[in-house]
Chains A and B, each alone.
Chain A
């Protein structure tokens, strides 16, 4: 006995899977949280890298600063040495041919006298002069 097969055309194109909105919302939330988490991790790591990079820069600047400060201290020592009264005296006497001031070369000014006071510019109390361009308001 022969089997008889019938070809039946089945068209499922009109079948649509039901959209699970709740699942999409959970998935979206989860994805967002994961993205946020990963983003935060990346941001933190980026920050750490930046901090470390800044640290390297700061250390370089600090080392440079220490070096400059050391040079500054050495220059201060040199300046103080150059300002030594002994050295100045020797240069004045030997190189410039100077001699100590005698008492007669020094004139003391009387601090109390008015003539020695500094002269200040004095404001003159002069009457106002009206010109053609003057505006007189009442």
Chain B
């Protein structure tokens, strides 16, 4: 090869090499610019193009009753949003959406017109709404998943469960109290998307569900309780009511009902007053139920005994210049009878024996003036003033349940202390909280504190049983079970004047059953029952009985006493043929001035004499055994005449075939025998009439 040729070849190789080098240099420079100088910006842009950020909707943990029945649960639903800039014709879109979303089209239009970017149209749609909107296939609308809280049992335990706001924050009840644990944790994760925005990879997100809460409530006992309370509310036309069922040995709340109630699924549609959990948030003067504390304190201090006879001074006592009257003229009563007859004078005398400081010590020991510690929000302490703030009459007022403010749960806890042989328990409503995997993270255990001795508690149990057997709480007598309790009727205070209303009362009944080994402690409070019947024994005790009997049956508690037979109504003879002479009937037993038993033992039970209790007494202090007679075709049930006029009462008596004996004029305020008593046909029922209500007794 010639040298010229070789040189030419070398030049070409050089040019090619330089070209390659230049080409490589350009590439390297470009790479440096892209990978180094513009790294952050391009990386950000790439991530935006290739990744999507998906927000994790935190799910609130479920709420269950003690048998794991669902009470609150969360479900993903669609929320509707729009991109204002993408909607060309807001008027048409709003016209199309308005009838489906049940919203004003002008409101939707103004939202769409006011925002160029993102705007909510309606959040947490119902499924049919979402499907209908989706079917419209409108451009610029976007569905976003959100979690929505559902309460499948609707009003059941509404005040206990509470409710949540639009952003799933707990606003009441357990939802609020345990919000930190229930609500779950919000977060986000990244998804890889292609040029068509199709997802093809993602970082696996962690769990965002909150913890699950298991309550001590039993949904069936809750339903029984709410039903009975509702019935009592309808009968008495009370303004509000509360009923609580508790295990007196552990403090577990088995049911907690409030009336009026609300549906937490749509709580905004209800009066905010109905959201209130009155069991822990409302304060009232307890009235006679507080005598339990007075007597228990006197017994514990050895200042009296159940059989001591106290002079109740015919129902009147002067204290620091003020005369306090009893509801009836009561003379010499044993301490047991002070409780069963609810004598104010007797309670005051026992309170005076205690003295200010000792009495205050027991008031605080029973838990008044301090929180019970129940795990519900908004619990109030009540009012239990220090003795230094007492007037000279305060000890008398406190002895009969005035000048003290309590919550229903405090009174129930005090009675549960008696039921639990003198040991107070902390009430609680959450059994445990467990995480998504079922591991228990919080477990509530019973907490105990001795308040009075077991000896005092047993004495109190017997005295409170007397209230149900032959005292003011006879309407709470159970079929097949022993029961103990105390009635309370307290006048309400007018917040404007600070004086007592004359026609507004808080009626209550609190007790436990069975007496010797209590399964439940139960309280019923009715606020401002209307009509003549307003006393705790008249309006709260029947509801108490209804709840107690159904609950014990549900809990499979075997009856301790012979069951009663349902009385059969017989066709009464013509009124003119009735003989109003009780003595003329050839029954094997009669009950003179006392009520006969409401029902008789069923024939398949062997009746022990000890199981017969006197149903009432006629005002004297003796407790007499009342003989029973067999329910036969010759017995009729005494109707309730309370509140009726003379004409109505006469018609009522004529219908069942009994004679009416009248005392006074106006409306019936008391009757003997009591409503529901079984009596022979043609017996006479004595009815006391009055123009204005006065506490009548026969």
Contact = CB atoms under 8 A, between A and B. Distances in A.
Interface stretch (A1-9, A78-86, A120-128): A78-86
Interface stretch (A15-23, A34-42, A101-109, A130-138): A101-109
B388 interface: no
B156 A55 contact: no
Interface in A80-113: 80-81, 83-86, 89, 100-104, 106, 108, 110
A70 B198 CA distance: 21
Contact of B220 (A51, A81, A85): A85
A56 B198 contact: yes
Interface string B530-561: 00000000000000000001100100101100
B100 interface: no
Contacts of B127: 74
Contact of A103 (B156, B200, B479, B556): B479
Contact of A80 (B70, B200, B602): B70
Contacts of B75: 70, 73-74, 77
Interface string B545-586: 000011001001011000111100000000000000000000
A84 B198 contact: no
Contact of A81 (B152, B192, B194, B558): B152
A36 B311 CA distance: 114
A83 B198 contact: no
B198 A104 contact: no
A59 interface: yes
A77 B558 contact: no
Of the four ranges (under 10, 10 to 19, 20 to 34, 35 or more), the interface on chain B belongs to: 35 or more
Given A80-B153, A84-B153, A104 B73 contact: no
Nearest to A55: B200
B163 to A, nearest CB: 16
B550 A84 contact: no
B223 A85 contact: yes
B120 interface: no
B201 A108 contact: no
B152 A85 contact: no
A55 B223 contact: no
Nearest to B152: A80
A73 B76 contact: yes
A106 B549 CA distance: 12
B153 A85 contact: yes
B152 A77 contact: yes
Interface in B41-79: 69-70, 73-76
B199 interface: yes
B83 interface: no
Nearest to B199: A59
B219 A85 contact: yes
A21 B654 CA distance: 134
B563 A80 contact: no
Of the four ranges (under 10, 10 to 19, 20 to 34, 35 or more), the interface on chain A belongs to: 20 to 34
A105 B529 CA distance: 34
Interface in B172-194: 191-192, 194
A84 B192 contact: no
Contacts of B194: 52
Nearest to A75: B75
A91 to B, nearest CB: 14
Nearest to B227: A89
A109 B235 CA distance: 37
Contacts of B480: 103
Contacts of B550: 100
A89 B285 CA distance: 36
Contact of A59 (B198, B559, B566): B198
A102 B480 CA distance: 11
A60 to B, nearest CB: 9
Contact of A73 (B73, B199, B219, B602): B73
B483 to A, nearest CB: 14
Contacts of B553: 101, 103, 106
B223 A86 contact: yes
Nearest to B155: A86
A132 B246 CA distance: 71
A76 interface: yes
A78 B127 CA distance: 13
B154 interface: yes
Contacts of B613: none
Residue from B154, B191, B199 whose CB has the most chain A CB atoms within 10 Å: B199
B150 interface: yes
B200 A56 contact: yes
A83 B198 CA distance: 41
A51 B194 CA distance: 13
Nearest to A56: B200
Interface in B199-245: 199-202, 219-220, 222-223, 227
Nearest to B71: A80
B73 A80 contact: yes
B156 A86 contact: yes
Given A84-B153, A103-B559, A108-B558, 17 more contacts: A51-B201, A52-B194, A52-B200, A55-B201, A59-B198, A73-B76, A76-B73, A77-B150, A80-B73, A84-B152, A85-B219, A85-B220, A100-B550, A101-B553, A103-B479, A103-B549, A110-B558
Interface of A: 51-52, 55-56, 58-59, 66, 70, 73-74, 76-78, 80-81, 83-86, 89, 100-104, 106, 108, 110
Interface of B: 69-70, 73-76, 127, 150, 152-156, 191-192, 194, 198-202, 219-220, 222-223, 227, 479-480, 549-550, 553, 556, 558-559, 563-566, 602
7 contacts: A55-B199, A55-B200, A56-B199, A73-B74, A77-B150, A85-B220, A86-B155
The 6 closest A-B pairs by CB, nearest first: A55-B200, A80-B152, A85-B223, A108-B558, A80-B70, A81-B152
